Chains A and B, each alone.
Chain A
Amino acid sequence: MLTTPPEVEIALAESAPSAGFWRESWRRFCRRRLALVALAFVVALMAIAAAAPFIAGTKPIICKYKGHIYFPALGYYNRAWENPIFAKDRFRGRYAGTLAEKDPDSWAIFPLVYQDPYRRVRAGEWPDQPENPFGKEGVPSRYNWFGTNPQGFDVFASMVHGAQTAVSVGFVSMGIAAAIGITLGALAGYFGGWIDVLISRVIEVVMCIPSLVLILALVAMLDKVSNVHLMVIVGCTGWTGIARLTRAEFMKLKQLEFVSAARAMGAGASRVMFIHILRNALAPVLVPITFGIADAILIESGLSFLGFGASPPNPSWGTLLSAGRRSIEETWWLIVFPGAAIFLTVLAYNLIGEGLQEATDPRLRQDAH
């Protein structure tokens, strides 16, 4: 039996462990400053989206009313989370004045900006804040940082809440796409044979389905269109690229020794596929997912722009853009801010995707030569 000489064993133990694939990739990713900035942008965007009701809104983040503590701002996430006591006491969504009026001992902490993405703030709601201007009067000002839309809704509030749409559309739809794509791609690549033939044909069929037409058909049928519907459709039609890449990776990797080793040790097919092969195949798959997120955001904005998005009032960047389109000569702020947001977000995802690609693909490493 062959044994390692003791001195070699000692040398191995003493040298620093070599960096793993992911750590190595991250190190390389960090070298690309643009990609890093883009990642920071996306992380910030996600933070903004998650905390949207605390940044802009007209419902208190926390308030004490008649001896109890409430969190009405949660109503922005889900209507039922806004305590019914406020409906019963006929607050009608106007907390600022009504709280003090109904209970002098009450106190409340309001969001940073007292503006609402779903309605126009009227005069007298908030001390010293005038009513929102509308139409072409809605230029950016102290109270409306990014101006207002033709109906007088605050653009900043709409954009902050619209970030939720942008972020969730990207992640949820690509999450769905990745789940379907990776599973099917893995099956096809690992098993080959008739399974591969079948799945490949399915991929080709799905590639032929125009997701836009599917979405339009769905929008026509549904009573209440929400972003979830858009996400599901984009996800269910956008997985083909991911599946093909996964399949190719699996075909390549299943020939390697470590797969044979795993099999030899008695690992079942699913264990080999998802524990051993997948983690090695994931890097190239992440790239189309990142680009896919950018695409999904563009699709959602485009649909909202065309008026086929979620039922109004939906504070989406595309909706704002389309409101600006009709009076482009007067209301520049309806084009500039949401346009910039869409552009930057899509650009950021693309930069991240590119960074990932270069960081994880050894052939693209500059130092590899």
Chain B
Amino acid sequence: MPASSPLRSLLLLVPACSLLWLISGCSSESAKSAAEKPAAAEASPSSESAAANRSSTETSQANNPSAQQEPENAPQGAAPTLDPKAPFELGNALEKFDPPSLEELDKLKWNDGRIADGMALLRDEKSSQPAPALTAEEALKLRNDSPENNAKILAALGVLQPEGGEGVNFDAKMIRHAGGDLNSTNPLFSSSVTDGEFADLTGLAIMSFDRQLKNFAPKDVVVSWQTSDDGLIDRFVLRDDITWSDGKPFTAYDVEFTFKLIMSDHALLVIPAVRGSGTDQIKAVKAYDDHTVVIFHKEALATNITNINFPILPKHIYENSVKEDPSLKRSAYHTEQEAKPVTAGPYEYVSRKRGEEFVVRRRESYYMHDGKQVRDKPNFAEVRVKTIEDLNTALLALKSGDIQQMELRAEQWADQTNGADFYAKNTKVTAPEWTEFHIEWNQRTADGKSPSPFFGDSRVRWAMTYAMDYDELINTITRGLYQQGQGTFHPTSWMFPKNPPALIKQDLDKAEDLLAEAGWTDSDGDGIRDKEINGQIVPFEFQLMTSQTETGIQTATLMKECLEQIGVIANVKPTEFVVMQDKLIKHEFDASLGGWGAGTDPSMQSNIYGTGAQRNYGQYSNPKVDKLFEQGVRELDPAKRAEIYGQIHLQLWEDQPVTWLFYRNAFFGFNKTLRGYNFGALGPFKYSPGFSSLFVPAATP
């Protein structure tokens, strides 16, 4: 199975941002688009400086379709004064490095890495679980109205196709849903979730990860993977039976070329996300022959593996043309490539209609080589991805069978998908996702020079946490579909501490006491708490910024209601995505509702809670946490790492830089013809095998 493809998505998705910024928040409407979009990953402003600044493992930032243009305005070349007419120089952003010879490398001590087939891994995992209680046909008759039924449906429909591909209808065509349009068919320019999905279907990569975000090298691409004993070098031997869609062989030189291309500075070449998503942490990539590619790292870090996640372009297509047109977009030749990209993945590009859809079809040369089948045959003859931005319209399309899969909003799950009109053609499933939502408290003034009058004090932040009515939040606003927040890592993740913090219950007395302790009392009798700061009476009235989504506004309104009871005024300000992002980055806010999705590696959270880090909107700073993050990324033993991140989790909880509200689930509607979907930490598609495991049975009901 094309384990690679999921990887790709990951590449866009996760590393990019390790933490998808789910500002759009709480799951609602555009939420999907924004929530997942962030995955999209876009320019990371400091990508070039990232190399210098190890601590900020640049995660690129969440994005939504409207913001996709942004990167264009901020070319990421090393110097802002690059000359557009300067000749293109491949890899000029790299430091000079003389790779050792192959013989020298052979002398090193090597440890074998994990080579696996994503599908086989999932099959193994499933074989250790009890067989599903129901057959798929029986499960499809169920209504998903209770956790038990959800578990039954998930188990029955998660059954994988029989080995060897029997019982799969290979002629089936699949229609997927996307919340935004495809921007570019060139994976280097990927900047949205839809771009990621395209790359996922058509691309190939040399690293992949499973449902728990554990890394492995996919068997479909890699013959062997070894890591040097000092952790500084990874050596891959690629298979010799991979070809590009134009028939040329896929080689180690393609990998080296693409890496250098990504690490090239030129005024015209604007690569929005890929470089900042970890690729710039790699020191060098060297192809020794057609199949041997070696990756040199700067330091021995736990995140080295996840950095090997860049997309791979065909060297023979771009090698010469990039010199003529470094933008990779403008020349007639590159326009042609954009319209008919050469790819190496399981599916190949067929057509697209702007704002409507793109279509890919199964590529025979992917799974057949010299007349022999060398890889699993992709399950669909054709995959059509339709762009429908309005999720109500998308739901209607799902009900009528015009699309066969979509991610649902919580309200849609609760209210609009219970009738016969939905169950006639579809079923729905939910599963936890490693995504948390919170209210972020800005601890300092916008210039960062002095502490915020409100939230600089951890007692005030704790008062806010105690003021929130979690019962109401979980049961009414999120319809009991989400789980209450317990800190930054998801309870099912390996980083979650063994002795987790207890769930908070609303305690207004405690909140009032804490506020009084911090000096906030109602001294002038107007019903609003105040405090004398520098001789001025400052009322406790602040702005609570939220996305314009229903859940976001409702949550903020609930917080307002709760705070009003203890004499604190929160003004809810629904804010447009781009504006919100801008204010967050400039720290021009008091409090803000938002969310983060899990990255492939917990070390990426240093970008959120590290002192002065790029996504540290609330300007939280704790040297202890900084130190733990530093330790975590250097520690290679998984058990010890888990412990370190558990400590970080607990320390963050103690400091409450944010008030954790809830973990969001993934909600999906699937057409009844589909089988084989299983959920990982990032939903049903963002892992290996992910989408590759979906199939239509030979005889569908």
A residues apposed to B, CB below 8 Å: 75, 79-80, 82, 84, 87-88, 90, 92-93, 118-120, 122, 134-136, 150-152, 220, 223-224, 307, 311-313, 323, 326-327, 329-330
Contact = CB atoms under 8 A, between A and B. Distances in A.
B415 A87 contact: no
A65 to B, nearest CB: 15
Nearest to A319: B553
Contact of B572 (A84, A134, A152, A313): A313
B472 A313 contact: no
Contacts of A75: 527
12 contacts: A79-B527, A84-B525, A84-B526, A90-B508, A93-B564, A150-B411, A224-B543, A224-B573, A311-B571, A313-B572, A323-B550, A329-B416
B139 to A, nearest CB: 26
B414 to A, nearest CB: 6
Interface of B: 29, 392, 411, 414-416, 472, 476-477, 479, 508-509, 512, 522, 525-528, 543, 548, 550, 553-554, 556-558, 560-561, 564-567, 571-574, 576, 579
B392 A326 contact: yes
List the 9 shortest-distance A-B pairs measured between CB atoms, nearest first: A92-B565, A84-B525, A224-B571, A80-B526, A119-B561, A313-B557, A312-B572, A136-B415, A151-B554
A90 B556 CA distance: 22
Contacts of A93: 564-565
Nearest to B546: A312
Q: Is the interface of A mostly helix, strand, loop or mixed?
A: loop
A80 B508 CA distance: 21
Residue among A152, A224, A312, A323 with the highest chain B CB neighbour number at 10 A: A312
A134 B476 contact: yes
B509 A82 contact: no
Residue among A82, A87, A90, A330 with the highest chain B CB neighbour number at 10 A: A87
Contact of A80 (B411, B415, B527, B561): B527
Contacts of B543: 223-224
Contacts of A118: 561
Contacts of A151: 476-477, 554, 557-558
Given A92-B566, A326-B411, 16 more contacts: A84-B526, A87-B522, A87-B527, A90-B508, A92-B508, A122-B472, A135-B411, A135-B414, A151-B477, A220-B579, A223-B571, A223-B573, A224-B571, A311-B573, A312-B557, A312-B572
A53 B347 CA distance: 64
Nearest to B392: A326
A313 B560 contact: yes
A84 B525 CA distance: 5
Contacts of B392: 326
Contacts of A152: 476
Contacts of A119: 561
Contacts of A90: 508-509, 512
Contacts of A122: 472
A220 B512 CA distance: 33
Nearest to A116: B561
A329 B420 CA distance: 14
A120 B554 CA distance: 11
Contacts of B527: 75, 79-80, 82, 84, 87
Given A307-B574, A312-B574, A79 B554 contact: no
A310 to B, nearest CB: 10
A120 B576 contact: no
Contacts of A323: 550
A153 to B, nearest CB: 9
A327 B566 contact: no
A135 B409 CA distance: 14
Given A80-B527, A223-B543, A326-B392, A312 B553 contact: yes
B522 A84 contact: yes
A311 B574 CA distance: 8
A119 B564 CA distance: 11
Nearest to B391: A326
Nearest to B579: A220
A122 B471 CA distance: 11
Given A92-B508, A223-B573, A327 B415 contact: yes
Contacts of A311: 571-574
B309 to A, nearest CB: 38
A130 B472 CA distance: 15
Nearest to B541: A224
Contact of A88 (B416, B479, B522, B564): B522
Contacts of A79: 526-528
A120 B561 CA distance: 10
B95 to A, nearest CB: 45
B19 to A, nearest CB: 27
Contacts of B579: 220
A55 B557 CA distance: 23
Contacts of A220: 576, 579
Contacts of B528: 79
A326 B28 CA distance: 11
A134 B414 CA distance: 11
A312 B553 CA distance: 7
Contacts of B411: 135, 150, 326-327
Contacts of B565: 92-93
A330 B525 contact: no
A319 to B, nearest CB: 10
Nearest to A313: B557
Contacts of A135: 411, 414-415, 479
A307 B479 contact: no
Contact of B416 (A82, A92, A224, A330): A330
Nearest to A122: B472
A135 B414 CA distance: 9
A313 to B, nearest CB: 5
Nearest to B590: A223
A224 B541 CA distance: 11
A313 B553 CA distance: 9
Nearest to B409: A326
Contacts of B526: 79-80, 84
Nearest to A323: B550
A47 B217 CA distance: 74
B230 to A, nearest CB: 54
B450 to A, nearest CB: 20
A224 B550 CA distance: 19
A152 B512 CA distance: 26
Nearest to A325: B392
Contacts of A329: 416
A10 to B, nearest CB: 69
A271 to B, nearest CB: 45
B559 to A, nearest CB: 11
